[in-house]
């Protein structure tokens, strides 16, 4: 059975100490006979509501493969650690090799930003000549209409 654990570390703790905390948790899990399938650090993110007068926290994800006792061990370890603001462990049936949705969104946002800027510059340069051509065409059209109107009036006068 796979277990997915997301935990939030106090923002006063540095990123290096958050990594040390995660490494300690991983060692406990491996000593218990389970293995770590996926490990992700999501960075410092805003909380939906303040917890212990904190509005931000270090988010981390661990996916383990092991027995239910391992999930209980993880919960007990996180519950006793004062640096942990919140945690949630859920069981999952399928394991995905892809990064979590949060990391996918972050990686696509960083890779798409330069691409999004380049076409905008191209579109701007392409639209400017078209706008000038359109104004020339508009200017030319009334002249053509005026000529046809004069020709019609000339034909009517003759």
Is the pTM of the predicted complex or chain greater than 0.85?
A: no
The yes-or-no verdict on residue 92 having pLDDT over 80 is yes
pLDDT score of 94 = 86
130, HSE (Cβ side, Cα atoms, 13 Å): 6
CA distance 28 to 22: 10
Residue 111 confidence (pLDDT): 67
For residue 81, pLDDT over 90 is answered with yes
Q: For 6-48, write each residue's pLDDT tens digit.
A: 999 999 999 999 999 999 999 999 999 999 999 999 999 999 9
Q: What is the mean pLDDT of residues 38-59?
A: 94
Mean pLDDT score across all residues of the chain: 79
Query: Rounded CA gap, 41 and 73, in Å?
Result: 21
Residue 108: is its pLDDT beyond 80?
A: no
The total of other beta-carbon atoms located within 10 Å of residue 46's CB is 7
DSSP, residue by residue, 61-77: EEEEES-HHHHHHHHHH
Is 106 buried (19+), middle (13-18) or exposed (0-12) by CB count in 10 A?
Answer: middle
The answer to whether 9 and 18 are in contact (CB under 8 A) is: yes
pLDDT at 49: 93
β-pair type (35-51, 2-9) = unpaired
Q: How does pLDDT run across 122-144, given as a tens digit for each residue?
A: 444 344 444 455 445 455 555 55
């Amino acid at each position: 059975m796979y277990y997915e654990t997301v935990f939030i570390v106090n923002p006063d703790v540095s990123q290096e100490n958050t990594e040390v905390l995660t490494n300690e948790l991983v060692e406990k899990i491996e000593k218990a006979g389970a293995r770590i399938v996926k490990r992700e650090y999501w960075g410092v993110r805003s909380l939906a509501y303040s917890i212990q007068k904190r509005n931000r926290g270090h988010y981390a994800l661990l996916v383990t493969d092991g027995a239910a006792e391992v999930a209980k061990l993880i919960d007990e370890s996180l519950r006793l650690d004062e640096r942990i603001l919140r945690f949630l462990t859920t069981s999952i049936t399928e394991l995905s090799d892809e990064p979590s949705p949060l990391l996918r969104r972050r990686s696509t946002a960083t890779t798409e930003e330069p691409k999004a800027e380049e076409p905008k510059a191209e579109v701007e340069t392409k639209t400017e000549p078209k706008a000038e051509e359109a104004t020339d065409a508009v200017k030319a059209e009334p002249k053509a209409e005026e000529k046809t109107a004069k020709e019609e009036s000339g034909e009517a006068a003759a």
